[in-house]
Homo-oligomer: A and B are copies of this chain.
Amino acid sequence: MAANTSSIAPAPPLKDELDIVIPTIRNLDFLEMWRPFFEPYHLIIVQDGDPTKAIKVPPGFDYELYNRNDINKLLGPRASCISFKDSACRCFGYMVSKKKYIYTIDDDCFVANDPSGKAINALEQHIKNLLCPSTPYFFNTLYDPYREGADYVRGYPFSLREGAPTAISHGLWLNIPDYDAPTQLVKPLERNTRYVDTVLTIPKGTLFPMCGMNLAFDRDLIGPAMYFGLMGDGQPIGRYDDMWAGWCCKVICDHMGLGIKTGLPYIYHSKASNPFVNLRKEYKGIFWQEDIIPFFQSVVLPKECTTVQKCYIELSKQVKEKLSKVDPYFDKLADAMVTWIEAWDELNPAGASQANGKA
């Protein structure tokens, strides 16, 4: 109960502790719309396609922009682990950031309104979510006990009320829901209009589909596991970048005693992507996930894995061993997972030792 009173205070802006990572901005309205909320923060824009095409950022924003040439120059041969011509390249931005927190958002996601008509400050809600504990060990029926006007209900063991540090805050979308291509094709007109006024912890041992459209995380706690895989140009699959990251992060968070929240804040997802293009990108994933999910459900990380990096390397071994038989792609992906950690540690030598030191 004492834990709750502090959480009622407004979330601090974390101005110097948070970077906003955006894959290629095709739409200038996007930044104008978010200006009141994003202008105080530093932006990292990762351009997913042709490096000769210029991205115009309106004046007033503090940003750095990376294109493929920059990625190649910074990572050398290890640049192979960063997807090309796919928004999965955004994870390069997580790697080059020096901040504790990351917020990532797609350029077709606009500011949503809450039921009273007020513009939702998505970033503020993500920060609130990240700054108060998660409750992965027992389900609280009144949802987030750290929210004003809520608490743990009768029957919630007191020893579990400290919860777990929150590593990830997964926000949702009004208007266009994040459906797969088959569901898009069957329900082209479906819109999400339901504002569900809650934040909840995904319980320990439960997997979920993590969407990268509106996502915040604590880079110090989980950054090295936030790899968006090999998607797009030259790869047999797309649209599973955030899913892959989510499944890896979830088993590692469960192992490390960290929490993942989902729910508020909403953004307004303006545009459905083309379901035919999506089907081509997704169809192998639709088969593969039938093997991927049982794999992640059965992953056990040994207790020697005391840092996110160690967990991730161990996971890459298990991917190679168990999923390569599904498709040779997973052999390549397992290698890229190792390359990603090597690149992460090279760019984050302090973070690497800090992460190791925490063990």
- Highest count of chain B CB atoms <10 Å: which of A156, A202, A242: A156
Let me know if A159 is at the binding interface, CB within 8 A.
Answer: yes
How many residues does chain A have at the interface if contact means C-beta atoms less than 8 Å apart?
62
Let me know if A293 is at the binding interface, CB within 8 A.
Answer: yes
What is the distance, in angstroms, from A204's C-beta to the closest C-beta of chain B? 8
Let me know if A96 is at the binding interface, CB within 8 A.
Answer: no
Given A138-B208, A141-B170, A141-B262, decide whether A239 and B154 contact each other with a Cβ distance below 8 A.
yes
Contact A293 B157 (CB under 8 A): yes
Q: Which residues of B contact A157 (CB under 8 A)?
A: 289-290, 293
What is the distance, in angstroms, from A339's C-beta to the closest C-beta of chain B? 24
Interface string of A204-223 (1 = CB under 8 A from B): 11111111000000000000
- Determine chain A's interface SS by DSSP, over half rule: loop
Let me know if A191 is at the binding interface, CB within 8 A.
Answer: yes
Choose one: B115, B142, B151, B183; the contact of A1 (CB below 8 Å). Answer: B183
Contact B141 A208 (CB under 8 A): yes
Let me know if A300 is at the binding interface, CB within 8 A.
Answer: no
Q: Which residues of B contact A152 (CB under 8 A)?
A: 179, 183
Q: Which residues of B contact A141 (CB under 8 A)?
A: 170, 172, 178, 208-209, 211, 262
What is the distance, in angstroms, from A7's C-beta to the closest C-beta of chain B? 14
A-B contact pairs, 16 of them (CB 8 A): A139-B202, A139-B208, A139-B262, A141-B178, A147-B194, A150-B194, A151-B183, A151-B187, A154-B180, A154-B243, A155-B240, A155-B246, A157-B290, A160-B293, A198-B198, A205-B206
Given A155-B246, A205-B206, 12 other A-B residues pairs in contact with their CB atoms under 8 A: A138-B206, A139-B262, A140-B208, A147-B194, A150-B194, A153-B211, A155-B289, A196-B197, A197-B197, A203-B203, A204-B206, A205-B205
